[in-house]
Amino acid sequence: MAPFTRHLFICTNERPADHPRGSCAPAGGEALQKAFKKALADRGLNRAVRANKSGCLDQCEHGSVVVVYPDAVWYGQVTPADVDEIVGSHLEQGRPVERLRLPDSCVNASTCPHKPRR
């Protein structure tokens, strides 16, 4: 079997409901991962692209978060309704879905407009 060409990491981390940063699990991380797996299988991409559950990706304010590697494209506020668009546009056609893409200024940044001030 050929190696996977891409990996999707879908955050399923859960924090207490009152945590100031929130978390992806309540926003539907588990359902999102299942929706990606189904969409990949339906399109015959499941042998080339793997949809993995992930722990915290440290982008909690942007949940649900999905990152595509090796492309290093980060998506935020992803819902199951967005799955077909990401699979079709990004994974099949090589065009990331810009409306869901996290700005580079927010990824691995200590501050961004979405993070609470500490």
Query: Is 75 within 8 Å of 66 (Cβ atoms)?
Result: yes
User: pTM value?
Assistant: 0.88
Q: Residue 70: which of 21, 16, 20, 4 has the closest Cα?
A: 4
Q: Concatenate the DSSP letters of all residues of 13-66 into one string.
A: ----TT-TT--SGGGTHHHHHHHHHHHHHHTT-TTTEEEEEES--S-GGG-S-E
Q: CATH number of the domain that 26 lies in?
A: 3.40.30.10
Domain membership of residue 18 (yes or no) is yes
- pLDDT tens-place string over residues 60-106: 777 789 999 999 999 998 999 999 999 999 999 999 999 999 988 88
Residue carrying structure tokens 């079997």: 1
Q: Which domain range does residue 66 map to?
A: 6-100
